[in-house]
């Protein structure tokens, strides 16, 4: 069975590189990585000083 699409799923992981490798093995492709921080991120989660690294 092949995974065709996955949209709008947030998964918190301890090791982002390992998570990327896992999902790549499932047949997904990495579109990019970024750091999210600032007022938008703070407001989105309701905390101050939020900084997160994401992979898409």
> In this predicted model, what pLDDT tens digit does every residue of 16-51 receive, in sequence order?
999 999 999 988 899 999 999 999 999 988 999 999
Nearest to 13 by CA among 56, 41, 53, 49: 53
Rounded to an integer, what is the distance from CA 56 to the centroid of its chain?
6
pLDDT at residue 8 is higher than 80: no
Taking the whole predicted model, whether its pTM rises above 0.75 is answered as no
Average pLDDT over residues 3-16: 84
3-state secondary structure of 35: strand
pLDDT score, position 9: 79
Q: What gap in Å lies between CA 43 and CA 53, rounded to an integer?
A: 17
């Amino acid at each position: 069975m092949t995974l065709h699409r996955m949209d709008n799923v947030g998964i918190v992981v301890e090791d982002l590189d390992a998570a990327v490798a896992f999902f790549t093995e499932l047949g997904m492709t990495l579109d990019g990585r970024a750091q999210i921080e600032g007022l938008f991120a703070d407001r989105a989660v309701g905390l101050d000083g939020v900084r997160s690294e994401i992979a898409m």
